[in-house]
A and B are shown apart, each in its own frame.
Chain A
């Protein structure tokens, strides 16, 4: 029986994991260990619900409710002096809990501190844009929508950014295969030549490592030489291997087992 592969996460998985193996954890420390972070967290806690907060690899992580995202980041910017939104994007947890996790990576240049604000939203839910606070979120949110399909409210120009506008599917979701889905393999054929040319051209090969054994247009096989494009799926003729030296090249002879001598005494 073929092994079951989960359909909600089609990314590559290790083929073997020791049954007793327990993954270690990156250490999380308490926020109170850092005075600057502790003060910031107090200020956030005074106004908003904080679901979780800790320090990991020198940066504070604050988990908030998704509805508070705009006001928390507004406070981070205006009150707590976090003056840059270095990065923001989503993480796909749809397979395990049906949610997207949105993270905002913020930097305070005056405090020399980095904080990550995180919140979770459901698949069909949308999130408030922070583009009014940080212009950099304009493109980040578009990329997030493009890659995950997370809809952002109040965004001035909610449009795909990296993929073509008429693309279907969201490439960074765990359900999206690495080589692209069926839409992807017909996209260029349909767009350039039209759907009616599908049978002539065939689907695009989106796996660069794929080798078709019967492909005589891109691959030749020694000993089975056929004209370009011949159909060999029903069998292929043997062609004799010819060597240049068959006619006699100085010092080079073709190996002939019968004429060869087996040396039994290695010290001869």
Chain B
């Protein structure tokens, strides 16, 4: 016989007896267009929102706590689970922060491969954004088109590292593998086709009457608001601030490639949509340049720093000292110097920062993950009031939040 338990149904969505007409609507946490486990408590006057309370934490796994109990290399696969749409960019942010802490310089070929991975991830993330947002608005065709292209990119990444979603494709000190033989040819094939694909999406959406009604002048974020809420990435650039960390504080080889930073001063959903499309074109431009850089680089993939980084496999297998050092690094972990570092990188979602406080131990004393989506969710508090219920869906869509990153 089934035991009666404490889980009794109750009508938390609707409060019945109130003096005014205010209705409290509970949006999520299981809502297809909440893009994850977002619960929004919306106070409504008719269909207009008067107050919004985003409630997060449904995907909280305590990554910062986990980081304090893991050696540095052990934490790398955990970073995949932050922004799982573009996991290499998280791997990279963490690797870069640790490298800055140690003071490592990465070989040029590793830099080139990292750039390829980062920009491929950006494309994957933007395609995914386009697909899901369009689906939320009702544009099924765009969803199918964009997923087709994303699938191609995922296959490419799979060729490189064997994983499709959680790549862990970057190591502290370099990259684990060289590119497979077909990688560059396949990437070039994809890039050659990409402009046509983007044109397809734009033909479907740019002047689409429904798309325009849902996007134009909806979710307008002013410059002050974007700055005050700590917005970054497209959210900031759509509000008229020209700030791209790749350009302003270049890391890897971003100072050697030529690309533009698309900016808009409209601040609405449509502006963000246009920026995502423009960024995809810029990413393709960067990738073409990076492909050309690959030829003629030295074959080294990992930095040489015996105290922190294991020697190449061939040395480990043939030389006693390399094997001993590898054993110590795997079992006990590297011990970066005492100090702290905050490194921000431009992930597809915005400014992804890693603050590491090291006390010279094998485990970080404190690791703070600055995930852009956290504040892009917070801004909904101020952004939603005044809008109508259907706008909630399109606004959440264009904020491009990922809950692995919000809750960490």
Q: Select from chain A the residue with minimum beta-carbon distance to B339.
A: A26
Given A23-B360, A84-B230, A87-B370, verify A12-B100 contact (CB < 8 Å). no
Number of interface residues of B (CB under 8 A): 59
Given A23-B360, A135-B382, A162-B407, verify A87-B368 contact (CB < 8 Å). yes
Interface string of A147-166 (1 = CB under 8 A from B): 10000000000001111100
Given A25-B338, A26-B338, A192-B6, verify A57-B243 contact (CB < 8 Å). no
Interface string of A76-87 (1 = CB under 8 A from B): 000000011111
Q: Are A26 and B60 in contact (CB under 8 A)?
A: no
Partner of A162, one of B60, B355, B361, B378: B60
Given A135-B229, A162-B60, verify A26-B101 contact (CB < 8 Å). yes
- Which residues of chain A are near B230, meaning CB under 8 Å? 84-87, 134-136
Q: Which of A91, A105, A107 has the most CB of B within 10 A?
A: A107
Interface string of A224-246 (1 = CB under 8 A from B): 00000000000000000000000
Partner of B360, one of A15, A24, A162, A193: A24
Q: Which of A15, A24, A92, A194 has the most CB of B within 10 A?
A: A24
Given A26-B341, A136-B375, verify A57-B101 contact (CB < 8 Å). yes
Partner of B375, one of A11, A89, A139, A194: A139
Q: Are A86 and B337 in contact (CB under 8 A)?
A: no
Q: Smallest CB–CB gap between A5 and chain B, Å?
A: 14
Q: Are A91 and B65 in contact (CB under 8 A)?
A: no
Partner of A23, one of B65, B241, B249, B338: B338
Partner of A135, one of B57, B228, B344, B374: B228
The A-B contact count (CB < 8 A) is 135
Is A114 part of the contact surface with B, judged by Cβ < 8 Å? Answer: yes
Is A116 part of the contact surface with B, judged by Cβ < 8 Å? Answer: yes
- Which residues of chain A are near B359, meaning CB under 8 Å? 23
- Which residues of chain B are near A24, meaning CB under 8 Å? 337-338, 360
Q: Are A163 and B370 in contact (CB under 8 A)?
A: no
Q: Smallest CB–CB gap between B244 and chain A, Å?
A: 11
- Which residues of chain B are near A56, meaning CB under 8 Å? 339-341
Given A86-B353, A114-B342, A136-B378, verify A26-B337 contact (CB < 8 Å). yes
Q: Select from chain A the residue with minimum beta-carbon distance to B5.
A: A193
- Which residues of chain B are near A112, meaning CB under 8 Å? 248-249
Instruction: List residues 349-396 of chain B with CB under 8 A from any CB of chain A.
Output: 351, 353, 355, 357-363, 365-366, 368, 370, 374-375, 378-379, 381-382
- Which residues of chain B are near A161, meaning CB under 8 Å? 56-57
Docked Cα-Cα span, A24 to B361, in Å, equals 11
- Which residues of chain A are near B57, meaning CB under 8 Å? 160-164
Q: Select from chain A the residue with minimum beta-carbon distance to B57.
A: A162
- Which residues of chain A are near B69, meaning CB under 8 Å? 11-12, 178
Q: Are A92 and B339 in contact (CB under 8 A)?
A: no
Q: Smallest CB–CB gap between B70 and chain A, Å?
A: 8
Is B62 part of the contact surface with A, judged by Cβ < 8 Å? Answer: yes
Interface string of B32-73 (1 = CB under 8 A from A): 000000000000000000000000110010101110111000
- Which residues of chain B are near A193, meaning CB under 8 Å? 5-6
Partner of A116, one of B225, B332, B342: B342
Q: Smallest CB–CB gap between A210 and chain B, Å?
A: 15
Partner of A14, one of B5, B100, B340, B361: B361
Q: Are A192 and B7 in contact (CB under 8 A)?
A: yes
Q: Select from chain A the residue with minimum beta-carbon distance to B382.
A: A135
- Which residues of chain B are near A26, meaning CB under 8 Å? 101, 103, 336-341, 358
Is B335 part of the contact surface with A, judged by Cβ < 8 Å? Answer: yes
Q: Select from chain A the residue with minimum beta-carbon distance to B66.
A: A178
Is B253 part of the contact surface with A, judged by Cβ < 8 Å? Answer: no
- Which residues of chain B are near A28, meaning CB under 8 Å? 339
Q: Are A91 and B365 in contact (CB under 8 A)?
A: yes
Is B173 part of the contact surface with A, judged by Cβ < 8 Å? Answer: no
Given A136-B230, A178-B65, A193-B6, verify A59-B361 contact (CB < 8 Å). no
Docked Cα-Cα span, A12 to B6, in Å, equals 37
- Which residues of chain A are near B365, meaning CB under 8 Å? 91
Is A40 part of the contact surface with B, judged by Cβ < 8 Å? Answer: no
Is A171 part of the contact surface with B, judged by Cβ < 8 Å? Answer: yes
Partner of A138, one of B249, B363, B378: B378
Q: Select from chain B the residue with minimum beta-carbon distance to A10.
A: B69
Is B333 part of the contact surface with A, judged by Cβ < 8 Å? Answer: yes
Docked Cα-Cα span, A26 to B304, in Å, equals 19
Is B213 part of the contact surface with A, judged by Cβ < 8 Å? Answer: no
Q: Are A105 and B355 in contact (CB under 8 A)?
A: yes
Q: Smallest CB–CB gap between B78 and chain A, Å?
A: 13
Is B261 part of the contact surface with A, judged by Cβ < 8 Å? Answer: no
Docked Cα-Cα span, A214 to B215, in Å, equals 59
Given A59-B342, A136-B378, verify A172-B362 contact (CB < 8 Å). no
Instruction: List residues 1-60 of chain A with CB under 8 A from any CB of chain B.
Output: 11-16, 23-28, 56-57, 59
Q: Smallest CB–CB gap between A61 and chain B, Å?
A: 8
Is B140 part of the contact surface with A, judged by Cβ < 8 Å? Answer: no
Q: Smallest CB–CB gap between B320 and chain A, Å?
A: 19
Q: Select from chain B the residue with minimum beta-carbon distance to A61.
A: B340
Is B227 part of the contact surface with A, judged by Cβ < 8 Å? Answer: yes
Q: Smallest CB–CB gap between B149 and chain A, Å?
A: 32
Given A89-B368, A116-B342, A161-B56, verify A139-B241 contact (CB < 8 Å). no
Listed by A's residue number, 29 A-B pairs whose Cβ atoms lie within 8 Å are A14-B332, A14-B362, A23-B335, A23-B337, A23-B360, A24-B337, A26-B336, A26-B337, A26-B339, A26-B341, A56-B339, A57-B341, A61-B340, A86-B344, A86-B370, A87-B230, A87-B342, A87-B353, A89-B368, A91-B357, A91-B366, A92-B366, A105-B370, A134-B230, A135-B382, A161-B57, A164-B57, A176-B65, A193-B6
Beyond A13-B363, A105-B353: 9 further Cβ-contacts under 8 Å? A23-B338, A26-B338, A85-B230, A109-B248, A135-B228, A139-B378, A147-B64, A164-B57, A194-B6
Q: Which 9 A-B pairs have the closest CB atoms?
A: A23-B360, A26-B339, A136-B230, A162-B57, A24-B337, A12-B69, A139-B378, A87-B370, A135-B228
